Amino acid sequence: EANLAIDASGQLPNGRQFYGPQGLRTLLLERRQAFSSTVTEKLLEYAIGRGTEYYDKPVVRGITRTAALDNFSWSSIIVGIVQSVPFRTRRSAL
């Protein structure tokens, strides 16, 4: 607003700083496995309608490991979630 410059800088929880979308992308790609694991966990939580528990961790690791073979494609993560036991055995909200 009012012709003010946009501050595109930021800082990750570990203290690493970045500037702009490309800087954020670079930092995330440096930790591609961790980023993919977090995305997988959060998508699984959304898909099953609850937070993940300790017994879901092997599922997340397995999906992430399989997705790594496909360059962490979105489709491999989604297919992994849909084929997972937590997703197939979730209870309906009704």
pLDDT digits (tens, 9 = 90+) for 30-60: 999 999 999 999 999 999 999 999 999 999 9
User: So where are the chain's domains?
Assistant: 1-30, 32-94
Instruction: Categorise residue 71: left if φ over 0, alpha if ψ from -120 to 50, beta otherwise.
Output: left
Q: CA–CA separation, 94 vs 92, rounded Å?
A: 5
* Residue predicted with more confidence, 2 or 48: 48
Q: CA–CA separation, 35 vs 37, rounded Å?
A: 5
pTM of the model as a whole: 0.82
